[in-house]
């Protein structure tokens, strides 16, 4: 264990002291002792009070990712086993574990690593240097925990190919951890079957965070004409179809996504009801409005319009525009589901933006419910970055 000591400036470390796991470069006064990037260091407050231990990386603005507040705690196999066991137990308590996020980085007190379970396959995303050194140990420990519950993992694939790794001085990595296996995995969620491509799909292959939001839409979509925008693999569209929607159209700009969605419709025997086409949603919605199209339900699940605080102003314009276009296609008394998956687009900002879109289109909104990400993506209070998905369902009423 490194003997290096990081000392904070007076008055700094407020977010960490409130519950976060990050120490930023501008919060640090001195670093004493020898270390290599990725080593465990001891963190002191300005007055010498020991705050805990974490991984240091001078390539990153997040200079230290804290692992424990216990100054005596070794970051060893037994420690990692306790963290992994607690993460798995939490999923068993809170969600359907057939396919779920088993480890969610900072929110599971294992900063910088994400592991998703798709039936009997694990997909790993490692984003920080310190935890990267332990990823194979963490995978091994998780496989042991699952096996103890009768779940045998047939393969592990790494999708550490996000740009965030570059901020840590890490190369992008993509490939098998252990023996190769068939990376097309069939999963079942909310009664809907999907074929997940863990090699080429978005992120780790599938967006598990909307699981229960998709389920919530099943109630509303029965017997309805539905438009699913930014459909990706057809997830909301297929939930609408399996719930008994009369007609569903899914739109996405990616030909690969549309091909996957169409295959998933066939997999669920919904090809007569649920149809997909490749289109730029921002261009397609005005065309549909000009043609006089109207839908009972419109679902807007766009990609993050901002991944930085600085770009939030332009993102607000994007969310306002897409919601205005979507609202124009909803029948009087119909429903709009709209969301943001950007951490920087707060609940308050999204609500304000949708309210402005409704005013501009002379619509009145009655909130059905507000939802966030699935519980297997837990929101750690004081770690703001763990809260990113906001999901509204509204009834849309004409102004009369």
Supply the residues annotated as catalytic.
341
Q: CA dihedral defined by 301, 305, 307, 310, rounded to 10 degrees?
A: -150
From residue 323, give the alpha-carbon distance in Å to each of 2, 107, 234, 262, 287: 52, 31, 20, 26, 15
Rounded distance between C-alpha atoms, residue 169 and residue 194, angstroms: 35
Which residues sit opposite 40 in a β-bridge? 55
Cβ pair 106, 143 in contact under 8 A:
no
Q: How many CB atoms lie within 10 A of CB 392?
A: 22
Give the pairing of strands 184-189 and 192-197: antiparallel
Question: 3-state DSSP call for residue 26?
Answer: helix
Would you call 19 exposed, middle or buried from its count of C-beta atoms within 10 A (0-12, 13-18, 19+)? exposed
- What distance separates the 2 farthest-apart alpha carbons in the chain? 72
Best CA proximity match to 312, nearest among 274, 338, 350: 350
From residue 49, give the alpha-carbon distance in Å to each of 15, 67, 266, 321, 353: 16, 17, 61, 50, 44
> What six digits make up the tokens of 157?
């694939």
DSSP secondary-structure letter at 237? H
């Amino acid at each position: 264990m490194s003997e290096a000591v990081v000392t904070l400036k007076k008055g700094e470390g407020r977010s960490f002291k409130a519950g976060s796991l990050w120490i930023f470069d501008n919060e640090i006064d001195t670093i004493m002792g020898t270390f290599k990037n990725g080593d465990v260091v001891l963190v002191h407050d300005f007055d010498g009070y020991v705050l805990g231990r974490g991984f240091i990386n001078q390539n990153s603005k997040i200079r230290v990712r804290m692992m424990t507040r216990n100054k005596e705690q070794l970051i060893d196999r037994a420690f990692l086993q306790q963290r992994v066991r607690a993460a798995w137990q939490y999923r068993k308590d809170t969600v359907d574990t057939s396919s779920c996020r088993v480890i969610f980085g900072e929110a599971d007190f294992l900063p910088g690593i994400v592991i998703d379970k798709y039936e009997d396959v694990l997909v790993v995303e490692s984003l920080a240097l310190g935890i990267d050194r332990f990823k194979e140990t963490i995978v091994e420990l998780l496989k042991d925990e699952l096996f103890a519950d009768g779940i045998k993992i047939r393969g592990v694939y790494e999708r550490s190919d996000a740009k965030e790794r570059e901020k840590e001085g890490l190369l992008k990595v993509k490939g098998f951890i252990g023996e190769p296996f068939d990376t097309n995995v069939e999963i079942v969620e909310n009664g809907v079957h999907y074929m997940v491509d863990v090699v080429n799909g978005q992120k780790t292959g599938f967006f598990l965070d909307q699981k229960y939001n998709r389920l919530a839409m099943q109630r509303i979509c029965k017997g309805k004409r539905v438009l699913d925008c930014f459909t990706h693999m057809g997830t909301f569209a297929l939930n609408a179809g399996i719930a008994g929607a009369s007609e569903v159209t899914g739109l996405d700009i990616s030909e690969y996504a549309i091909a996957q969605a169409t295959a998933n419709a066939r997999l669920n025997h919904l090809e007569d009801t649920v149809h997909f086409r490749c289109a730029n949603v921002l261009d397609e919605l005005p065309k549909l409005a000009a043609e006089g199209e109207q839908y009972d339900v419109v679902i807007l699940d766009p990609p993050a319009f901002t991944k930085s605080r600085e770009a939030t102003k332009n993102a607000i314009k994007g969310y306002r525009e897409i919601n205005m276009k979507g609202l124009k296609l909803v029948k009087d008394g119909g429903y709009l589901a709209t969301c943001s998956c950007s951490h920087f687009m707060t609940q308050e900002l999204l609500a304000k933006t949708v309210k402005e879109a409704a005013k501009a289109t002379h619509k009145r909104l009655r909130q059905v419910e507000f939802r966030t990400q699935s519980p297997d993506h837990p929101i750690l209070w004081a770690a703001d970055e763990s809260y990113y998905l906001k999901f509204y369902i509204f009834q849309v009423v004409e102004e009369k």
